[in-house]
Amino acid sequence: MALLSGRGNRHRSDTAPMVAARRRLLDAGVFDPVAQALAAAIDPEAAVVVDAGAGTGRYLAAVLDAAPRAVGIGLDLSKYCARAVARAHPRAIAVVADLWEPIPVADGTADAVLSVFAPRNVAETVRMLAPDGRWLLVTPNPGHLHEVREPLGMLEIGADKLDRLHADLTAGGLQVRGSTPLTATALLDAEQLADLAGMGPAGFHRTEDELHAAAQALTAAAEALPVTLDVTLTVAVPAAN
Ligand SMILES: C[S@@+](CC[C@H](N)C(=O)[O-])C[C@H]1O[C@@H](n2cnc3c(N)ncnc32)[C@H](O)[C@@H]1O
């Protein structure tokens, strides 16, 4: 089931081609190490899991498989994402929502909130979290996709990103339980490299032809290019715990 507010909003929402590119890459298993790390970090007894900025719902589905009683609520600004989330798992529902507005989830009800490569509203997440709830955040490290960021027109990742995350969480009344780095290598062909760029902000400011040309140039010497996944999984809980 997908719920839409019917209202427009002032943020730019992921387009159908961007969501399709993300889905192709995730379905190919390129980001499975991230899904597995999230599934391992979820409390199997969780009853309500909120994925804030759920994208295609792939990570929410992996977490729901690891929490067999849980219902998942996938929030995303993009109606294309909401449609994908609604189909991602039998226990997932999708809501089109702007994370910078009051989030339509009751106070203290979320056993877990996921924020995977997504905007984070600390105050609203603290409000939604149950007293013993967990916020699982996945953020990119400076080495993430470093082989292809510049040629594919992807934004640089600041070296202080993790410090800033910890400062934001602590200032918002959370305690960081731990931050675990996770690295893996993915072998990507030209189509997948174009998808990698096209599913993110480069998908807004570069044409598909430009992305394909850049991806072809990167794979001119070999059929596929090894690309580094380099992220951190952070677990934060309400500070009173
Ligand atoms: C980089 S994608 C990550 C998606 C998913 N978590 C994943 O990793 O595959 C960021 C997601 O946040 C959503 N998003 C961006 N701004 C948002 C906002 N203000 N409110 C809700 N969702 C937003 C986008 O539509 C997109 O699906």
Å from CA of 54 to ligand 1 middle = 6
Q: Ligand 1 atom closest to Cα of 51?
A: 6
Over residues 147-160, the mean pLDDT reads: 92
CATH placement of domain 2-148+156-182+231-238: 3.40.50.150
Residue 150 identity (one-letter amino acid): E
Give the C-alpha separation, 98 to 187, whole Å.
34
CA 19 / ligand 1 centre spacing (Å): 10
Largest CA distance in the chain: 55
Q: Give dist(CA 112, CA 156) in Å, integer.
A: 29
Nearest CA to ligand 1 atom 12: 53
The residues spanned by each domain of the chain are: 2-148+156-182+231-238
Range 43-47 average pLDDT:
98
166-200 residues labelled b (16+ CB within 10 A) or e (exposed) = eeebeebebebeeeeeeebebebebbbbbbbbbbb
pLDDT at 188: 96
Instruction: With cut-offs at 50, 70 and 90, classify the pLDDT of residue 204.
Output: confident
**pLDDT tens digit sequence for 57-88:** 999 999 999 999 999 999 999 999 999 999 99
Percent of the chain with pLDDT over 90: 81
**Distance between CA atoms of residues 46 and 67, nearest Å:** 6
| 21 Cα to the center of ligand 1, angstroms | 14
Q: How far apart are CA 37 and CA 16, in angstroms?
A: 28
Q: What average pLDDT is seen over the chain?
A: 93
56 CA closest ligand 1 atom index: 9
For residue 37, what are its two tokens? 């790390």
pLDDT surpassing 80 at residue 213: yes
Residues in the ligand 1 pocket, defined by CB under 6 Å? 11, 13-14, 22, 53-56, 59, 76-78, 81, 98-100, 116-119, 200
Band of pLDDT at residue 208, cut at 50, 70 and 90: confident
